[in-house]
Chains A and B, each alone.
Chain A
Amino acid sequence: DTEVTQTPKHLVMGMTNKKSLKCEQHMGHRAMYWYKQKAKKPPELMFVYSYEKLSINESVPSRFSPECPNSSLLNLHLHALQPEDSALYLCASSQVNSPYEQYFGPGTRLTVT
């Protein structure tokens, strides 16, 4: 089973709202990732968790707050977003040993109004 699930599929939020994106995997992977993807562009890495600890933050604004409550779950908390934050948010997971191929979820399409 190589399934990564993400909820919700679509999200529309105002700039003053607080919302959360959720990601779940049951492949026993101990590395999880958040990416942001604009239309017709490659994904951009935001955060990496390894063994439930934040290991990479790609200088992401603090209005994005990741959380990894356990080895299967990854959340992305959103607060005071800007319209330019509208994008597809992809979650991925991988093993922590080679070759580290990442398996992606279907993504959440976020629109900030």
Chain B
Amino acid sequence: AQKITQTQPGMFVQEKEAVTLDCTYDTSDPSYGLFWYKQPSSGEMIFLIYQGSYDQQNATEGRYSLNFQKARKSANLVISASQLGDSAMYFCAMRVMNTGANSKLTFGKGITLSVRP
């Protein structure tokens, strides 16, 4: 079974500063993918970034980067130059890859990020 742990309480960051959102995971499967999603108060889940278990380099997408430490089973999201629009709930998620699209996406409980002007 897969497990995602997000333990940080609500996070606060000053506008234009960087922030790291923590995520640890557990799986016995060697082939898996890690995902981060953003959910504003409007409700839509927005896909941010993906990291595959065999990827050698950390994933980056614009202001988002994923600090992937495989040995520690962590996949922290780094948001650089925070903007007011980054205020939202952030979910880390994982799926194993050996059953294709039918495998379940396992979510962490989420972290609320508030950006202060």
**Chain B: interface secondary structure?**
mixed
Shortest Cβ distance from A6 into B: residue: B44
B63 to chain A, nearest CB (A): 18
Is A45 within 8 A of B43, CB to CB?
Answer: no
Please give the number of chain A residues whose Cβ is less than 8 angstroms from any Cβ of chain B in the complex: 31
Is B101 within 8 A of A43, CB to CB?
Answer: no
Shortest Cβ distance from A55 into B: residue: B102
Given known contacts A31-B101, A48-B101, is B33 in contact with A42 (CB within 8 Å)? no
Q: Mark B89-117, 1 if CB is under 8 A from A, else 0.
A: 10100010100111111011110000000
User: Complex formed: what's the CA distance from A97 to B97 in Å?
Assistant: 9
Shortest Cβ distance from B100 into A: residue: A96
User: Complex formed: what's the CA distance from A106 to B40 in Å?
Assistant: 10
Is B35 within 8 A of A101, CB to CB?
Answer: yes
Is A99 within 8 A of B110, CB to CB?
Answer: no
Contact of A42 among B42, B100, B101, B110 (CB under 8 A): B110
User: Complex formed: what's the CA distance from A95 to B97 in Å?
Assistant: 13
Is A99 within 8 A of B108, CB to CB?
Answer: no
Is B97 within 8 A of A107, CB to CB?
Answer: no
A50 to chain B, nearest CB (A): 5
Q: Mark B21-45, 1 if CB is under 8 A from A, else 0.
A: 0000000000001010100001111
Q: Of A15-23, A73-81, A86-94, which stretch is located at the interface?
A: A86-94
User: Complex formed: what's the CA distance from A42 to B109 in Å?
Assistant: 5
Given known contacts A94-B101, A99-B52, A100-B100, is B44 in contact with A43 (CB within 8 Å)? no
Shortest Cβ distance from A100 into B: residue: B101
What are 17 A-B pairs with beta-carbon distances under 8 A?
A41-B109, A42-B107, A43-B107, A50-B100, A56-B102, A56-B104, A90-B43, A90-B45, A94-B101, A96-B101, A97-B100, A98-B33, A98-B97, A102-B105, A104-B37, A106-B44, A107-B44
Q: Which residues of A pack against B, CB within 8 Å?
A: 2, 30-31, 40-43, 45, 48, 50, 55-56, 58, 88, 90, 92, 94-107, 109
